[in-house]
Structure 1
Amino acid sequence: MRLNSAYYERILAEYQLTEESLVSIEDIRKFPFTTKADIQTYNKEFLCQPLSRITDIVSTSGTSGAPVSFYLTDNDLERLAINESKSLSIAGIHREDIVQLTTTSDRLFMAGIAYVLGLRKIGASLLRVGPGLPDLQWKLIKEHQTTVLIAVPSFILKMLEYAEKNQIDPSATSVTKIICIGEPIRNQDFSLNVLGQKITDKWPIHLYSTYASTEMATAFTECHAGKGGHHLPELVFAEVVDQQDEPVPPGTSGELVITTLGIEGMPLLRFKTGDICQYHLSLCECGRTTLRLGPLQGRKNQMIKYKGTTLYPPALTELLHELDYISAYYSEVVTDEMGLDCIKIYVAGNEKDADLISRIKEHFQARIRVTPDILVTTTQEINAIKMSFNFRKPVDFIDHRTTL
């Protein structure tokens, strides 16, 4: 890494570090952190291979900052296939499965190509349907006897709404499990959160949670026990640190830091993911002894301090998921004239505006003891805003703060 990456050549020289400085696991703390801002600013300086050896270029989604490009060699693609085959095997997928992929494989999306490569390595059959189109999803499930869905959980709710309107019984289909990506489906105690419960109330099916990112090119995937995503230590070295960058004990919230292993194109050293979570070391019911990551609590740079309460955007989403009387929503945080965080939530529903606002405020007051500003609009206007950023999925939270 040091000899081939212009960025790490410079940074490690500043810290007077060499490969020989890393003798034991504890020595990793001698090395500096890498941030997303570093990769955004010095993107191609992270390259460890000439462009002639790069086979595929992927990009982060840009939902939490400017998109960042990553460059993969043939061996990196093989590593990606190994990661996904191992991860999906942890979730019980095998070569007899017929897997329906409801997420995009284009727009420089690493996960899309990872699923394809991993399922090919497993030997499972794959239906690359892509996002949206609930009617087509159900049609193909019936036609091809799909056994596994890979999907964003909120899209499963849209599929269930379509099924209910069109007399489709999900329980009578061939699908046995759903691999959930992009959104949390569990609380910190591993019970299903509101989103996960809404799915299983209408469709008694086994949900598997995953956590991954383009930067680590690795996934933490649940087994049947549903007690956290299993670490693949041969592919990524993981740390969880507090606000002082000190390691935290198991069961304590901190920021996930990763060092990628086996990557040729753009390896990363102590990359701060910005994701807040807990890790667990107890023996899993499945018998695996590796570290497990609990549900993502939020992103460090999106922490909201509102009227004396500290919140992360997923907490707002969770509360809004509980309200069956609203048809659409998104939340945003802005900086008010005093320089403080101010939360605004835009909703659409079937009740009178005043009644809707009152009910939502009561719900927030009861659950988190603070009441954000509630603004009532139409479902069409909300959906237009959520899709206007041209990201890979609709946006539920928008950060308009002038300082973070």
Structure 2
Amino acid sequence: MIWNDEFETLPREAIESLQLKRLQQVVERVYATVPFYQESFKKAGITPADVKSLDDLQKLPFTLKQDMRDNYPYGLFAVPLEQIVRIHASSGTTGKPTVVGYTRRDIETWTELMARSFVAAGANKGDVIHNAYGYGLFTGGLGAHYGAERVGASVIPMSGGNTKKQLMIMQDFGSTVLTCTPSYSLFLAEVAAEEGIDIKNLKLKVGILGAEPWSEKMRQEIEEKLNIKAIDIYGLSEILGPGVGIECVEAQNGLHIWEDHFIPEIINPETGEVLPVGEKGELVITTITKEGIPLIRYRTRDITRLIKEPCICGRTHARIERLSGRSDDMLIIRGVNVFPSQIESVLFNIEGVEPHYQLIVEREGNLDTLEVQVEVNEQTFSDEIKELQNLSNKIRKDIKDLLGVTCKVRLVEPKSITRSEGKAVRVIDNRQKSS
């Protein structure tokens, strides 16, 4: 089923024609209203009149997260503050957050794209949507909420936390769709088991999960433990919030990016060069309909590739492959590039370990070291020391074979790694502290 047949099935020529028209409009608008863009365009020797085709997009300068911080809080807004009806901010853990503003029309656009996303994921009118994304400055909760209401579903605005109550509400209210982070969905399953609740007896059928990279192995684990179809949703607060892209329930093969509102590019993260369709690199997004804070060629730091082959669902918008990580989450250990999701894929293939882990990075002398801490299940934890040593050696060998990096492996007892009710903390990098 498709929510907006007119726009979601536009022919490629019509999508690109609409993109060019909207790109030209947004470039003129930011040049006229945002001093940062006027200055960066002039430095690049570009004017709005130079954008005559979609290929000209790559002549425009990038926008970085640091640019948003440098212009904190409202320096990149393209409309006066009295036209802004909502302000959100990123969930960054250090320094100033990145601030985004929405006009009334922006909220309408966001609501529409979240409605498209819910229907693409298999949710619809008649569903009871249990929204465990955080409400507040984080965009997840309210973004999902408005879209679910637009579809006509019943929304439970749970927000994060209070896990036992979440499970009680799911049972009593008959929740059919769960929205939260992938790691929190596994925590829900874990607490349900502790409380003697058979989560497979709930009415849940779909999980719409995002806000952090997660592997295919983690998807299988979630689908098995919660007896649901786990759908990947993509978004970031700087661009819109959730609803920038989503997997369709028919294919679950890449996330449809709503190209009537965004232009995606893939670049080489080192050189900034635009890569051909199909090559893996960093995702760059230009917003072409946002009024409050339009962003030109925003570097997301997310690593993926574009897929333009037709999809069996009938939607014509390009897809991005599921994220393999973020370039700023990438660890460089003795010259080897390591993404947390790569280690996760190794761990999920090994019997006896739980889907909870942390990577601890230290510097000893001039050398970086990586320690993988991973929980084992109750049965494995009670094994003899020799068996635990064998398991530890296997994990170390499998990581070395896949990634070419030598690491320490520390098996820890069940439930000893801190659980998160939002994004899981996968990496603790102590190198800065020791340098």
Class of the TM-score when normalised by the shorter of the 2 chains: 0.7 to 0.9
**Pairing partner for 1:31 from 60, 69, 80:** 60
3-state DSSP class of the match of 1:179?
strand
Q: Gaps (5+ residues) in structure 1?
A: 187-192
Q: 1:178 corresponds to which residue?
A: 207
Equivalent-residue separation in structure 1 for 2:368 and 2:306 (angstroms): 29
Which residues of 2 match residues 16-165 of structure 1 at below 5 A?
A: 16-43=45-72, 44-62=74-92, 66-106=96-136, 108-165=137-194
Contact 1:91 1:222 in 2 (8 A): yes
Equivalent-residue separation in structure 1 for 2:125 and 2:217 (angstroms): 32
**Pairing partner for 2:407 from 357, 372, 375:** 372
Percent identity over paired residues? 27
Distance 1:7-1:115 versus aligned 2 partners, 3 A rule = same
Q: Gaps (5+ residues) in structure 2?
A: 1-29
**Pairing partner for 1:344 from 367, 371, 375:** 371
Deviations for 1:320-343, whole angstroms, at most 9, x for unmatched residues? 4455345853213244432x5421
Which residue identity does 2:247 align to in structure 1?
A: E
**Pairing partner for 2:261 from 235, 255, 260:** 235
Aligned residues: 390
Offset at residue 362 of structure 1 (A): 2.5
Deviations for 1:295-326, whole angstroms, at most 9, x for unmatched residues? 11111123223345321122223334455345
**Pairing partner for 1:202 from 225, 240, 264:** 225
Which residue identity does 2:309 align to in structure 1?
A: S
Equivalent-residue separation in structure 1 for 2:95 and 2:396 (angstroms): 28
Q: 1:257 corresponds to which residue?
A: 284
CA RMSD of aligned residues (A): 2.6
Which residue identity does 2:224 align to in structure 1?
A: D
| Superposition TM-score, scaled by structure 1 size | 0.87
Deviations for 1:4-27, whole angstroms, at most 9, x for unmatched residues? 112112111222322211110001
Task: Please tell me whether residue 284 in structure 1 is matched to residue 319 in structure 2.
Answer: no
Equivalent-residue separation in structure 1 for 2:105 and 2:155 (angstroms): 23
Contact 2:396 2:408 in 1 (8 A): no
| Superposition TM-score, scaled by structure 2 size | 0.82
Equivalent-residue separation in structure 2 for 1:85 and 1:402 (angstroms): 43
3-state DSSP class of the match of 2:284?
strand
Contact 2:205 2:227 in 1 (8 A): no
Deviations for 1:205-226, whole angstroms, at most 9, x for unmatched residues? 2111111111111421011110
Equivalent-residue separation in structure 2 for 1:246 and 1:110 (angstroms): 31
Equivalent-residue separation in structure 2 for 1:59 and 1:133 (angstroms): 23
Equivalent-residue separation in structure 2 for 1:120 and 1:67 (angstroms): 28
Distance 1:65-1:209 versus aligned 2 partners, 3 A rule = farther
Distance 1:65-1:227 versus aligned 2 partners, 3 A rule = farther
Which residue identity does 2:248 align to in structure 1?
A: C
Contact 1:148 1:176 in 2 (8 A): yes
Which residues of 2 match residues 315-330 of structure 1 at below 5 A?
A: 315-322=342-349, 324-325=352-353, 328-330=356-358
Which residue identity does 1:329 align to in structure 2?
A: Y
Equivalent-residue separation in structure 1 for 2:107 and 2:343 (angstroms): 37
Offset at residue 42 of structure 1 (A): 2.2
Offset at residue 254 of structure 1 (A): 0.5
Instruction: Report which structure shows greater RCO (CA 8 Å, sep ≥6).
Output: 2
Offset at residue 31 of structure 1 (A): 0.6
3-state DSSP class of the match of 1:182?
coil
Contact 1:132 1:155 in 2 (8 A): no
Contact 2:218 2:355 in 1 (8 A): no
Equivalent-residue separation in structure 1 for 2:303 and 2:191 (angstroms): 34
Equivalent-residue separation in structure 1 for 2:314 and 2:180 (angstroms): 27
Q: 2:235 corresponds to which residue?
A: 212
Distance 1:294-1:65 versus aligned 2 partners, 3 A rule = farther
3-state DSSP class of the match of 2:41?
helix
- My pick for the range that moved more, 266-275 or 65-74, is 65-74
3-state DSSP class of the match of 1:288?
coil
Distance 1:334-1:152 versus aligned 2 partners, 3 A rule = same
